[in-house]
Amino acid sequence: MGSTDAVAHIDLHPLEDDDLDAVFEMMRDRDAVQAAAFTASDPDDRDAFEAWIARQRSAPDVACLVVTENGGFAGTIAAFTVEGDREVSYWIAKHAWGRGIATEALRLLIAREAERPLFARVATHNAASRAVLAKVGFTEVSRDVDFAPGVGREVEEIVMTLVPMLE
């Protein structure tokens, strides 16, 4: 097996100040913003980003983690509570798309999160993210339509859940 065929080592670590520039740049990528759809109104507004990330980092119910691939930045992943439901979300840097990094990062996060069910939301047009969620066991529970700043219009959103396995 050549070095290009080597399996990447995926890990998660708490978001640190040194990660913020990479996270900001990742969340500004136009292709990623289109795919995610439900993003910041202005992905280029650094002040708004700093305020948002500060709120996330200080919230006691938010686990905001960095995804690394072989020690290098590959994205972010988080777990948080919305109206009593535990949700997960991830954003993988464009350079890391299509190699199973999101799937492995989500598996790692799920292993850390004891609460079930877990929920995730995804724009219907984001087939890659829907596939990641399905690979780790999330299934669709509902659909909704909401305004998505990333595409500048209303977009259908799928709500998916991961429930405990029956024993």
**Worst-scoring range by mean pLDDT, 6-10, 21-25, 45-49, 130-134?**
6-10
Report yes or no on 2 lying in a domain.
no
DSSP string, 103-156: HHHHHHHHHH---SSEEEEEETT-HHHHHHHHHTT-EEEEEEEEEETTTTEEEE
pLDDT score for 6: 56
Domain count, the chain: 1
pTM, rounded to two decimals: 0.90
44 SS3 class: coil
Query: Contact, 105 vs 125, CB < 8 A?
Result: no
Domain encompassing residue 94: 7-162
pLDDT at 167 over 50: no
Contact 143, 117 (CB under 8 A): no
Whether residue 70 lies inside any domain: the answer is yes
134 domain residue, yes or no:
yes
- pLDDT grade, residue 165 (50/70/90)? low
What pLDDT is recorded for position 38?
Answer: 87
Phi, psi (deg, nearest 5) at residue 103 = -60, -50
With 50 as the cut, is the pLDDT of residue 46 above it? yes
Mean pLDDT, all residues of the chain: 91
For residue 114, give the CATH number of its domain. 3.40.630.30
